[in-house]
Structure 1
């Protein structure tokens, strides 16, 4: 079973988007961007930045590290002074039950960069030691990020991905994985859906 982070394990979607936009603006200047991050072909930190650079005639190899670094600085400062990085209700206990009680091998595949992903997980109180985590540092395409995580887990008959965005659902469909949607953005849009992880009986829904 593989989990997304933002909007799935932690409530950080709004802050993450705001700080990412700030990092892009501070490093790249007055560049043209699309109205919503979801308007980009690959909704990952790396994928969005690559497309912004392409559409503005910028060299990605010269921009990526600077934006990544500045985003990390902004996120660290935000978490240090504001600390608004709450776990999704029930999620920490769910992960513990999956690992310790049900002996389920889990992974984390996020469209964010690894350094900010680990900051948020740590601030939200997750112990992810020993859990494979793949990110935009591995690839700019979400499907390949997810595939990379899958190779780090034991072979099973069914792979389950848990996410909160349309892009998560589309990537899961492309891979032929079972998908479980979480949160208000996917209400009514997928076969298996949860508002959060607060009810104990949700374990049965998740592992099916």
Structure 2
């Protein structure tokens, strides 16, 4: 039995650009922070919760309160919803992502999960807008579950283990993502990685990268034969 766990932004949904824009605006509106680094890949934890926590510690010498986080999520999701009403083209699926998920879910040798650095509310909204149905996935974890991406992925693995009463070898767990932070998290966990071919992963040469989702099932088939 193998686990295939997917990131969302830039992996299943083509939403990275609008997500970053709305996230930045929500920080400004909720916390009145200015002149902060919006290249979010440079934060210690490139997750919605990790970035907020780091900014709050740097600017105010304290973490965000639960109420502040809730207010931020409300603001962020409202911005996403308003943008979708006017510009739905910012919320497309990565071509063939939904079809591939559905196909993998029919494979009795696989179990499918999600692990994203985004908030649960925003992640589910973007998946819905992109027309990707994830109801049959085994488990999902979000920014609410941890600051570090590796811990979010591990939360999904743990939930899948509990649901299916399994403990697969780390070599039988594959994470599909689009960022260097995704790759680093899999290295820390000791699991396999398949990347979405883009400039964020261009400097990494010893990994499998896909430019079309049709390639994913081909690679998974080869992995099954060789493991």
The TM-score, its normalising length taken from structure 1, stands at 0.92
**CA distance in structure 1 between the partners assigned to 2:15 and 2:31 by the alignment:** 24
What does residue 187 of structure 1 align with? 202
Q: Within 5 Å, which residues of 2 pair with 1:54-203?
A: 54-57=57-60, 59=62, 60-61=64-65, 63-83=68-88, 84-131=90-137, 132-153=139-160, 154-157=166-169, 158-184=172-198, 185-187=200-202, 189=204, 190-197=206-213, 199=214, 201-203=215-217
Contact between 1:7 and 1:183, CA under 8 Å: does it hold in 2? Answer: no
Count of matched residue positions in the alignment of Structure 1 and Structure 2: 206
Contact between 1:11 and 1:85, CA under 8 Å: does it hold in 2? Answer: yes
Give the deviation of 1:32 after TM superposition: 4.1
Contact between 1:23 and 1:71, CA under 8 Å: does it hold in 2? Answer: yes
Q: Which moved more, 1:97-106 or 1:123-132?
A: 97-106
Gaps of 5+ in 1: none
**CA distance in structure 2 between the partners assigned to 1:38 and 1:18 by the alignment:** 14
* 1:3 is aligned to 2:6: yes
Contact between 1:31 and 1:56, CA under 8 Å: does it hold in 2? Answer: no
Contact between 1:161 and 1:180, CA under 8 Å: does it hold in 2? Answer: yes
For residues 83-105 of structure 1, the C-alpha deviation after alignment (integer angstroms, 9 at most, x for no partner) is 12111112111111111145521
Contact between 2:12 and 2:93, CA under 8 Å: does it hold in 1? Answer: yes
The TM-score, its normalising length taken from structure 2, stands at 0.85
**CA distance in structure 2 between the partners assigned to 1:40 and 1:188 by the alignment:** 19
**CA distance in structure 1 between the partners assigned to 2:108 and 2:195 by the alignment:** 21
Sort the Cα spacing of 1:92 and 1:35 in 2 relative to 1 into closer, same or farther, 3 A. closer
User: Which structure dedicates a bigger proportion of its chain to helix?
Assistant: 2
Contact between 1:88 and 1:196, CA under 8 Å: does it hold in 2? Answer: no
**CA distance in structure 2 between the partners assigned to 1:79 and 1:155 by the alignment:** 40
Partner secondary structure for residue 137 of structure 1: helix
Contact between 2:105 and 2:136, CA under 8 Å: does it hold in 1? Answer: no
Gaps of 5+ in 2: 161-165
